[in-house]
Amino acid sequence: MAYNFLGLVNDIGERLNEIQLTSANFSAAVGVHASMKQAINSSVNRINRINYQWPFNFSLQSDTLTAGDMRYSYPATAKFVDFNTFRIQRDATIGNTSRKLRQVDYEQYLSNYIDDEHNSSETGIRSIPQWVSRAPSQEYTLAPAPDEAYTLDYEVYSLPTALSAYDDVPTIPSDSRDVIVDGAMYFMHLFNGDHETADRLDGLFKDNVNDMRKLYTNRYEYVRDTRVPEVYNYRATYRTDS
């Protein structure tokens, strides 16, 4: 059976001894089959919420900066933005080399650069960005203000869109198909008021997701010190590329 929305729903149908859907009648499904579709999406969403950094939800985001602008929004589907990965791309036309940005506290940004943010017409304060901070508004801020249309790359883990069409494929790899179905069966029994069976399936589902976490996210290469020393006056420490 194909690994797509239709196939997953029919996996539940086999377990519940329900009639199998086809690509022709899938979109018009009602009753228990509509509940099965909802249960699959609920299971997929639950798996994706359990871990912030599933590798199958990883993407590299590239933003083109605007000279003078210091605030930029996250992608609409972003679940987790890795602030240790912000870097400026090398650009032969502009003449800059690649540069990794250093994260600083948002409060430090406000203390050192908030006036620059409201003084965007002043070109003398602009340079290639060196600092990035996490704003509380689903935005990131850069300092100093960019003086060119640099390309900024950073790594994002996103929540995928809900499955809708019969041939939609989850971002979750196909070898975890049974985990999705087990999670969906939990919701089906919960919908039907069979809480005892739902509880047993919930325990199985959690064990299987824990196995997924071990497989996809555990890292043992080396231990890295991620402590960041306090920066007292980072405005005066940046350099500009000639």
Q: What is the pLDDT of residue 227?
A: 61
Residue type for 165, please? A
Stated pTM of the model: 0.76
My answer on whether 89 and 153 are in the same domain is: yes
Residues 127 and 206 in one domain: no
Query: Are 61 and 144 within one domain?
Result: yes
Peptide bond into 229 cis (omega under 30): no
Q: Is 163 domain-assigned?
A: no
Q: Is there a single domain that holds both residue 143 and residue 178?
A: no
pLDDT (tens place) for every residue of the chain, 242 residues total: 899 999 999 999 999 999 999 999 999 999 999 999 999 999 999 999 888 789 999 999 999 999 999 999 999 989 999 999 999 999 999 999 999 999 999 999 999 999 999 887 899 999 999 999 999 999 999 999 999 999 999 999 998 889 999 999 999 999 999 999 999 999 999 988 899 999 999 999 999 999 999 888 875 555 555 565 555 455 544 444 54
Same-domain check for residues 119 and 210: no
pLDDT at site 131: 97
Tokens of 22: 């086809």
| 37 and 59 housed in the same domain | no
10 Å CB burial of residue 29 (0-12, 13-18, 19+) is middle
Whether residues 85 and 49 share a domain: the answer is: no
Residue 81 shares a structural domain with residue 145? yes
pLDDT score for 225? 58
Q: How many CB atoms lie within 10 A of CB 33?
A: 20
In terms of domains, do 73 and 144 share one? yes
The per-residue pLDDT for 92 is: 96
pLDDT of amino acid 26: 97
- Distance in angstroms (rounded) separating the CA atoms of residues 222 and 224: 6
3-state SS assignment for residue 158: strand
Shared-domain flag, residues 76 and 153:
yes
Range(s) of the domain holding residue 177 = 5-53+172-216
Same domain as 48, residue 59: no
Per DSSP, the three-state class of 102 is strand
Counted domains in the chain: 2
Domain membership of residue 179 (yes or no) is yes
- Residues 19/182, Cβ–Cβ less than 8 Å: no
- Torsions phi, psi of 116, nearest 5? -65, -35
User: 39 with 59, same domain?
Assistant: no
Strand ranges, E, within the chain:
58-64, 71-73, 78-88, 99-100, 102-103, 131-135, 139-143, 151-158
Residue 110: which H helix or E strand, with range?
helix 106-117
Question: Contact at 8 Å (CB) between 166 and 24?
Answer: no
Query: Is residue 46 included in any domain, yes or no?
Result: yes
Q: Which residues contact 116 (CB under 8 A, 6 or more apart)?
A: 70, 122, 125, 143, 144, 145
Q: What is the CA radius of gyration of the chain?
A: 24
